[in-house]
Homo-oligomer: A and B are copies of this chain.
Amino acid sequence: MKFDDRIPIYYQIKQYFYQQIITQQLQPGDKLPGVRQLAVDLTVNVNTIQRALQELITEGVLFSKRGLGNFVTTDHDTIKQLKHRVVSGQVAWYYHQLEKLGLSPASMQQALADYIEEENHDPKS
């Protein structure tokens, strides 16, 4: 897995699991791969995996059964809140970054619209 070397890896791994859960690629009650396997898959050390998982467990997003594995919470409300928290966080971050750069709300929306337009220049032919 590719990491942004300006941000701690364990933090990026947390974001990765957020994504997996929010997009339902990991569903409530699902068992995660073993920590040693995750370490191989994400090309990091077991301790780094562990640090990320530990925080997710503290947040109630995952739970651990010693000797069995780590699992996604079965509390649908927690997952709903997680999704809201993560998405809202991204939007707020975007808004305030562009605000600092002097853009008006209308300009922000226009900039996004323009970017989406570009992304759609059919990659066929």
- Chain B residues, Cβ within 8 Å of A108: 112, 116
Q: Which of A3-39 contact B (CB under 8 A)?
A: 6-8, 11, 18-19, 22-23
- Asked whether any CB of chain B lies closer than 8 Å to the CB of A42, the reply is no
- Chain B residues, Cβ within 8 Å of A103: 87
Chain A interface size band reads 20 to 34
Q: B-facing mask of A57-87, CB < 8 A → 1, else 0?
A: 0000000000000000000000000010011
Interface centre among A6, A91, A105, A109 (most CB of B within 10 A): A91
- Which of B6, B94, B97, B101 is the one whose CB lies under 8 Å from A8? B6
6 closest A-B pairs by CB:
A94-B94, A23-B102, A105-B116, A91-B115, A91-B111, A19-B100
Q: Which residues of A contact B (CB under 8 A)?
A: 6-8, 11, 18-19, 22-23, 83, 86-88, 90-95, 97-98, 100-103, 105, 108-109, 111-116, 119
